Copies of this chain bind each other. A is one copy, B any other.
Amino acid sequence: MAFLDENYLITNETGKRIFRKIAKLPVYDAHNHANMQEIAANQPYRDLWQLLAATDHYVWEIMRKCGVKEEFITGDRTPKEKFLALARIMPLAVGNPVYEWLHLDLRRCFGIDDLLCEKNGEKIWNAGLAELAKPENFPQAMLTGKLNIGVMCSTDDPIDLLKEHDQVTSAVGRTLVRPTWRPDKAMKIQAPGWNAYIDKLGARFGRTIRTYEDLLEILRMSHDYFAEHGCRASDHGVTVPPSETALPALTAQLFRRARDGETLTEQEISAFQGSFLLDVAAMDADADWVFQCHAGAVRDVRTSLFEKLGPDVGGDVCNAAQDFLPGLLRLLNLYDGRLKTVLYTLDPVQMPTLATVARAFGETVRLGSAWWLWDTPIGMRRQLEYIGSVDLLHTFAGMVSDSRKLTSYGSRFEMFRRTLADVLGDISERGQAPEELLTDVAVRICGDGPKQFFNL
């Protein structure tokens, strides 16, 4: 098969037929890291480095792994020098999804079919300049045009005024991007800058936050504000779902001590975070939002990188020894039947645990798509094969791009849809289910499933 051709990732005839039924459906993407300033401003991209690599730590990590110096990645080299460095190492990245995503981006969005490599670097750079100058490739036009976005959900701080979301809605004439409420900064009581953040959060609503009850009140105001602006879900990042919670009086006391600048113990921090998560989950349950839990990422473990560049630049891993179960059971039992929940994990080792948990708690608790370092053709395939046979494909929460750049809304969904079609095609060709019903499931997973569950 030729690279990225029409049967890319699809190895059976039934899968090819199923893919044709879902290939053109609009994208519903319940979780990503859309840059709302960029979309609202709607300026043309300057060059391919800016669009494809400048914000994407997946690309950065591959470059580092191939020995490219940091100055050509996040440093002060010119965008063109960086792009040529990327092109040079790209042939070494075969087998990694970054290789596929970047070439999908070039082909599907811009019709640039050359392979990224040293020889083609300059040529592709110039072709990119020409393409990006076209109005059809301005952010809003791409999203509503060739990327075929139905609705996508950004990830936002409770402080955010969501002005850009409103601007985009006006500009494109429909709800294209919904916000997602992510109060991690308020939860991370031990993080540097937490106290200043709490001050800012209060100021946003014209208040001073003195007590934990003040915090919850402000968060409820923010939650309502987000709801008025079209938000349908919250999102929470935890290494391991906290298994301990504190009694209300203790939670209040821990909050006060942290506000006073005291250092809390690991156990106190975890207990506070456990209580906090249950309290914000209550807000979601009341508003019929989806509570999204991203668990398992051990972040910023490479000290040299973190000290130089800060968070969200690479250096993140998973850990097979994590115990998700007690924390999840506490949350899910407390809100059983009342809280729509989506569980994401980074480590395939947690997949059996999460699949059985999702099965046990009925239709409101669903598995999210394979996340981050697991979001690859082989990762998605193994996840879909396994969870369908333990939980149900019918209630799979669907693909999310988790993307930090525009083109990923296209390439990641194409990779997912092809993998889904191939897995379902295999099921049919092994005689395990009728093709017609599997096609229905595929269409649902790509459309009505997430649309209805997330109220998009």
Residues of A within 8 A of B (CB): 1-5, 7-11, 61-62, 64-67, 91-97, 99-100, 115, 298, 301-304, 314-325, 329, 332-333, 336-337, 346-350, 352-353, 355-357, 359-363, 373-374, 376-379, 385-386, 388-395, 424, 427-434, 437-438, 440-441
Bound together, the chains give a CA A330 to CA B165 distance in angstroms of: 43
Measured between beta carbons, the chain B residues less than 8 angstroms from A346 are 352, 356
| Residue in B closest to A353 when the chains form the complex, CB atoms | B320
Bound together, the chains give a CA A244 to CA B356 distance in angstroms of: 28
Measured between beta carbons, the chain B residues less than 8 angstroms from A363 are 64-67
| Residue in B closest to A61 when the chains form the complex, CB atoms | B359
Bound together, the chains give a CA A402 to CA B344 distance in angstroms of: 31
Q: Are B433 and A1 in contact (CB under 8 A)?
A: no
**A–B pairs, 19, beta carbons within 8 Å:** A4-B431, A5-B431, A11-B430, A65-B362, A92-B394, A94-B432, A94-B437, A95-B427, A317-B356, A318-B352, A318-B353, A320-B320, A320-B322, A320-B324, A321-B323, A321-B325, A321-B353, A359-B373, A377-B430
Q: Are A8 and B66 in contact (CB under 8 A)?
A: no
Measured between beta carbons, the chain B residues less than 8 angstroms from A391 are 65, 96
Bound together, the chains give a CA A3 to CA B95 distance in angstroms of: 30
Q: Are A389 and B393 in contact (CB under 8 A)?
A: no
Q: Are A97 and B389 in contact (CB under 8 A)?
A: yes
Bound together, the chains give a CA A319 to CA B349 distance in angstroms of: 10
Measured between beta carbons, the chain B residues less than 8 angstroms from A429 are 1, 11
Q: Are A319 and B323 in contact (CB under 8 A)?
A: yes
Measured between beta carbons, the chain B residues less than 8 angstroms from A357 are 301, 317
Measured between beta carbons, the chain B residues less than 8 angstroms from A303 are 333, 336
| Residue in B closest to A4 when the chains form the complex, CB atoms | B431
Measured between beta carbons, the chain B residues less than 8 angstroms from A318 are 352-353, 356
Q: Are B336 and A304 in contact (CB under 8 A)?
A: yes
Q: Are B320 and A333 in contact (CB under 8 A)?
A: no
| Residue in B closest to A97 when the chains form the complex, CB atoms | B389
- Least distance between A308 CB and chain B CB atoms (Å): 11
- Least distance between A108 CB and chain B CB atoms (Å): 13
Bound together, the chains give a CA A442 to CA B115 distance in angstroms of: 19
Q: Are B393 and A376 in contact (CB under 8 A)?
A: no
Measured between beta carbons, the chain B residues less than 8 angstroms from A9 are 430-432
Measured between beta carbons, the chain B residues less than 8 angstroms from A352 are 318, 320, 346-349, 373-374
Bound together, the chains give a CA A430 to CA B4 distance in angstroms of: 8
Q: Are B95 and A392 in contact (CB under 8 A)?
A: yes
Among B3, B64, B317, B322, the residue within 8 A (CB) of A433 is B3
Measured between beta carbons, the chain B residues less than 8 angstroms from A4 are 431-432
Known contacts A318-B353, A392-B96; is-contact A302 B3 (Cβ 8 Å): no
Q: Are A94 and B393 in contact (CB under 8 A)?
A: yes
| Residue in B closest to A387 when the chains form the complex, CB atoms | B95
Bound together, the chains give a CA A67 to CA B366 distance in angstroms of: 13
